Structure formats: structure tokens, C-alpha cells
Chain A
């Protein structure tokens, strides 16, 4: 049995949240560059240029890319042959976040109670999703997710008869309703199948996939391309001002579902989609 000390997890999470908030993932940066090159709307092109310069300044000065440093979503892949020692995994992740958000001058945006709304002061707790896998791996992917994009996500329990056309229509509807609010160009995460919570989780997972890497299924890859083209033809554009760049990618994930169900969830990631993967 492989042993991993939770202290090590805490330490690495503390540094990782700073890195995630200050260094834009390479694939997102690359996609923004491509968008700037193909942008036809002059003001939208200038905005894309500013987004790219922002990423450079944030990285150089170790400043937060965006003042909304999000609520952290932690996706954990834990091998069955790993034994965590010295405390609880969730506590370690939360302690790491607390330290990192203080040390990195990151904004704390989490309230203790959704109704009483008192800030916890250290950006904890995170939302932790754990999947138990074979082997002795431990992988933690951290995603500080801002509210501007998160608030624009939606879920629909479609009728199976709605079929793929119903799914396409729903995706477009969500993107149109979101308009400029989620800071386009966005990454559109789509989860199809499972049940209510599974679809939502798939949509979030879809945002973890690199921009530019299509779904392994050729049919789904084709659907991704079609949706990306249609979304970019919507004219919403960068920050909603128009032009031909509304999305950087459409990432679709699916799961088996019930004979009577067709759940679809759309989770939007902004142009400042931040994520970092830790391997132990």
C-alpha cells in the first residue's frame, strides 16, 4: 500500500491555487491567440489583445488573472491502493486553499451559509469530488471557478424524443441567454446522459479537457465542431460586443442513461478558465 502524507497535499495545494490563479493554462492562452487572429470586429480584437496582455502581466507579476478567484472545485482521483496518513483529505485540501489564498493575495469569495451570507474569510471550503480508481495514483485537479460564468449554467431533463436536435437547441439557448455575462469567449462544457447530478458533473468535467482536444468518439467530436461553429456564428462575441468569437471550445461528455431520460447540462467556463493538475 502506498502511503501519502496529507501534509504534503496541503503544501502542494497551497502553491497550486496561487499558480492556477496567476498562470493561464497554455491551451486556453493558445486558443485566445487563435481567436485574436481570426477576429473580424475591431473592438473585439482589442479586447482579446487585452485578455492576452492580462495573462502576461498576471504571470509576470504573480497577480490574480481575475479578481474573482472563484470557489475552488477539486476533482480527486484516488487509487484504491493509496493510504492517506496524518488526517483527512478534505481538510488538507481546504487548509492548502486557505494558506494559498492568503499568501497569494487572492480574493476570498466564499460565504459560510447560502442564506446568511457571511464570508468564511479564507475561500474555504472547496467543492470536492472524489473518484476511487484502481492502482496507487493520486491526482488532484483544482479549478477556481468564478461566479460570472458559473451562474450562467443550466440543466434540462429533456424527453428522449427531443433527440440530438433538442440537445443542440438547449446548448444554443444557454449560450444565448448567458450572452456577455460569462466573459466570452467561453468554453462550453456539456454533459449528456446519466441523471440530474451526473449530467451536471459531466459538464464540469468537460471543462477540464484541454481546449483543442476533441472527444474520442468521432460522432461526438463532430457534434462539438458543429456546435462551436454555430455558437461562433451567434454574433454574441467577446464580452458580448459582437464579432465571430463567442466560444473557444465546446467539450461534450456523455454517460449511459435511463430509457426514459435525456438529461443535458451546460456549464460555462470563462476566457479565464483556470485549472491545474497535481500528481502525487
Chain B
């Protein structure tokens, strides 16, 4: 199984094919609806983003509160489609990998093809399992959004499958046996 780690170059992205199982390790950023809205606003207003998107990985998640002694609470993926409105803007800024669950729209796929990005699916509803693979979590922006804040996470052996590759092949559109 392949392991990927940010920052990712174009050739790293192009080597990933739909259906490939991958393990993510290293730094990823956690953001969902409201954090995306804020980042999109910042981009449109020409303001600086809380982190440099180039080569990075964003995970669509809104975790549970961290119990004592834990870095994070349950932290499985949320439905990615809700981020479709913002994703092309971020991809154009260099975002390389998105992790979530569910399908993406045509605009997102087009931006992925044009800029070289992949969309990974991880196991929905496996929040406790995935939280065990998150070794550090830190809020880096929008703390007022609570579970929707922007987090920097450290992960290891974080299991995913390539759902849409940089050529636009889509696991949800493959002929099913």
C-alpha cells in the first residue's frame, strides 16, 4: 500500500489512480463548511490564508470534543459535497488532496484535472478508529467555530482509497460488477 505525505508535488498526485488504497501520514488540515466559507472569503478578498495551501491535504471533518487525555474526539469524514462550492478555489491555490466521503460535482473534478489534485475517501462512521490515528491536533484559525474551526492535525496510517484521481476517473461512476 502507498503512503502519502504533504507537501505533494504534481508527479506524486499523477501517480495515484482511482481505486488505489493509500495511507496518509504527516500533517493534514481539518476543515468543514464554515472554515471553508471563511477561507473562500479570504481568497476572494485577497487576504492571506491561515496556512499555505500549496501541496497540502485537507480533511473534511468536524470532530467530537476531545475527552481528557486525548488529542481529539471521534473524527470520521463528513459529506464532501457540501464543500464543492469552495473546493475549486482552494485547488486553484495549490491544494492537492481532499479527504472526505461521498461524491463530488463536475466543477470540482474539472479543477482537479486542471491543477492536479486527488480526492480520497476514508471510512465514514469510523470516527473512533480514525481518531486513534491522529496523534496531534491544534486549532490554527477560527477558534470561535468550535468543532468547525480550522485544525492542523498529525496523522499516521490513516487509511483511504483514491475516489477521484487527477484524470477525473471516479470510483462512484465505475461500472459496478
Q: Which residues of A contact B (CB under 8 A)?
A: 43, 46-47, 50-51, 53-54, 57-58, 61-69, 105-107, 119, 146-148, 151, 179-181, 183, 234-237, 239-242, 270-272
Report yes or no: B128 in contact with A68, Cβ–Cβ below 8 A.
no
Q: Which of B85-138 contact A (CB under 8 A)?
A: 101-103, 121, 123-132
Q: Which residues of B contact A (CB under 8 A)?
A: 19, 21, 61-67, 70, 73-76, 78-79, 81, 101-103, 121, 123-132, 146-147, 159, 161, 163, 171-172, 174, 176-177
Report yes or no: A234 in contact with B146, Cβ–Cβ below 8 A.
no
Report yes or no: A107 in contact with B128, Cβ–Cβ below 8 A.
no
- Decide if the interface of chain A is mainly helix, strand, loop or mixed: loop
Partner of A107, one of B74, B121, B163: B74
Report yes or no: A179 in contact with B176, Cβ–Cβ below 8 A.
no
Partner of A106, one of B64, B102, B123, B172: B64
Query: Nearest residue in A to B75 (C-beta to C-beta)?
Result: A67
Report yes or no: B79 in contact with A67, Cβ–Cβ below 8 A.
no
Report yes or no: A50 in contact with B129, Cβ–Cβ below 8 A.
yes
Partner of B127, one of A43, A54, A271: A54
Most buried by A among B19, B131, B146: B131
Q: Which residues of B contact A183 (CB under 8 A)?
A: 101, 124-125
Q: Which residues of B contact A54 (CB under 8 A)?
A: 123, 125-130
Query: Nearest residue in A to B69 (C-beta to C-beta)?
Result: A61
Q: Determine the distance from Cα of A1 to Cα of B75 in the docked complex, in whole angstroms.
A: 47
